[in-house]
Amino acid sequence: MIIFNNRDDVILVILLIIIVGLGGFLIFKNNFSAHESIKIDRQRELKREVVNKKRKNKATIEEIFVHIGGAVSNPGVYKVKEGARVYKLLKKAGGATKEANLNAINLAVLVRDGSKIIIPTKLKKNKTGADSNKININLADKTNLKKLKGIGPVTAQEIITYRQQHGRFNNIEELKKVSGIGNRTLAQIRSRVTY
């Protein structure tokens, strides 16, 4: 144990302790501030990266070409962003005509590059009393699919489910891949459907 005899020695030791303590405090404070500054800079950098990624993702959205026809004001081929829906394409084509039957199609379906969308007209009876329009199996909702002979609510839902899982039908024969549709049912509906 150190014993101080002189009052000056005691004051000197106290001052030395204060100086060392103050110096330690300042060094700790500066290191802490520098650490906080690095942390804030890293957070800013991460935010910039997120913003840049969002901008890059927007720039990579592809444009696709889709043909629209039928009961539409300006039929033709249109360029739309990937992920567009039928209703946006219809709007781009000037909207539907008065004869359009918009209840016969699903306006919320995603359009695909190279596809053709036909906007059907309202059903009219011909001289024999038969409907002159076909039901588009790629666009029809459950209600319209059930109008086909041999297609009930379960099979109509199976068609919609198949379409959601595998995309658009490329031909009428592809309907046989749907649970509940065989050669007999396909023969009954073949003349009433389009794709």
**Is the pLDDT assigned to residue 129 strictly greater than 50?**
no
What is the pLDDT, as a whole number, of residue 75? 93
Q: 140 near 118, Cβ under 8 Å? A: no
Matching CATH number, 62-123, of 3.40.50.2300, 2.130.10.10, 3.10.20.600, 3.60.110.10? 3.10.20.600
- Both tokens of 141, joined, read 């909702």
Is the Cα dihedral 98, 101, 103, 105 positive or negative? negative
Block residue for tokens 């024999």: 128
What is the pLDDT, as a whole number, of residue 60? 59
Calpha distance 133→194 (Å, rounded) = 9
Instruction: Write out the E strands in 9-152.
Output: 63-70, 76-81, 116-119, 135-136
Calpha distance 185→15 (Å, rounded) = 102
pTM, two decimal places: 0.41
56-97 pLDDT per residue, tens: 665 556 899 999 988 899 999 999 998 899 999 999 999 999
**Is the pLDDT assigned to residue 55 strictly greater than 90?**
no
Calpha distance 157→155 (Å, rounded) = 5
Question: Which class would CATH give 134-195?
Answer: mainly alpha
